[in-house]
Amino acid sequence: MQKRKLGNSGLEVSEIGLGCMGMSFSYGQPKDRQEMIALMRAAVEKGVTFFDTAEVYGPHTNEDLVGEALEPFRGKVVIATKFGFDLDPAGGAKWRGLNSRPDHIKRVAEASLKRLRVDAIDLFYQHRVDPDVPIEDVAGAVKDLIQQGKVKHFGLSEAGVQTIRRAHAVQTVTALQSEYSLWWRRPEEGTLAVLEELGIGLVPYSPLGKGFLTGAMTDKTQFGSDDFRRTIPRFQPEALKANQALVDLLREIAARKKASPAQIALAWLLAQKPWIVPIPGTTKLHRLDENIGAMVVDLTLDDLRDIETAASKIKVQGERYTEALEKMTGL
């Protein structure tokens, strides 16, 4: 598998990573533990070296799952995790809000190290910008952890350009994780330029639009009560129906390139910048193979121009999050 470096940091990872959240959080009931461990280990065998999790996924259960699955490959894979939520000490999947106080960050790091079964966290993201804690304090706390050898690289998630600049001035930011795909292109409005200027990599989450860009959904798709897409405006029937135009475009290009819509969506991302590394999530081996296959899809300048021209005429319907969730971003 091809490798990419996340900006100027020197952190080298597989060209496509694996988002692990859906294995135990957000998209219905947690999947069978042994099957997910087997899936992650198969991903390593296929060349994937970049795995993404977070304290809040579960909470804690996803980190624990990833830790067990990847323990045999310690030192051969890069595991990214995140801090920044105030979890309910009573347990359960609820959180009480954001919390990026330095003392809290350091406690989360210690707990994540144990769950991930590693000596140092490869990439430690602030999950969401905390308006109550100066980003300089956050960066300073992670800098301390890096100096102590407990963290190797610092990252931000869903942060605005000024936050990125301020954090980077205190501690080098290796990567920004933000949603980016053909149906959410906000990073193009200034963020990509700043990342390029500062030498920071971009890790797009939901590069397949939370499954929509695979072409597997229609306006008749039903989401379970424990699937958080059920509450998102963009996944309501009328929006799903209106947004099929984007999937139709991907299908058209896919037929020309003998690929799948998902592969075209991922190949488009890879073609944007050489320091972009998407992390599509999956719980199925055939989808893992499909996603990895995107790396061999060669989109020419003409292909990219055709996609851009057609996509510019499509107005994606529906907000990407509920209002409450959107307020948690720093954009």
Residue 174 within any structural domain of the chain = yes
Output the CA–CA distances (angstroms, integers) from residue 24 to 32, 60, 64, 221, 288, in the order listed: 9, 10, 10, 21, 17
Torsion 130-136-141-142 (CA) sign: positive
Residue 166 sits in a domain whose CATH number is: 3.20.20.100
Residue 26 within any structural domain of the chain = yes
Domain residues for the domain of 101 are 3-326
Residue 321 within any structural domain of the chain = yes
Which tokens go with 199? Answer: 């030498």
Average pLDDT (12-21) is 98
Q: What's the number of domains the chain is made of?
A: 1
Regarding beta strands 50-52 and 18-19, do their DSSP bridges make them parallel or antiparallel, or are they unpaired?
A: parallel
Residue 270 has pLDDT above 90, yes or no: yes
Confidence tier at 89 by pLDDT (50, 70, 90): low
Residue 92 has pLDDT above 90, yes or no: no
Residue 331 within any structural domain of the chain = no
Q: Known catalytic residue: 57?
A: yes
Residue 184 within any structural domain of the chain = yes
Catalytic site residue from 27, 57, 125, 205 = 57
Residue 46 within any structural domain of the chain = yes
Average pLDDT (196-207) is 98
Q: What is the mean pLDDT of the chain?
A: 94
Residue 18 has pLDDT above 60, yes or no: yes
Q: Considering the chain, what percentage of its residues have pLDDT values greater than 70?
A: 97
Q: pLDDT digit string (tens) for 99-152?
A: 999 999 999 999 999 999 999 999 999 999 999 999 999 999 999 999 999 999
Residue 91 has pLDDT above 70, yes or no: no
Confidence tier at 271 by pLDDT (50, 70, 90): very high
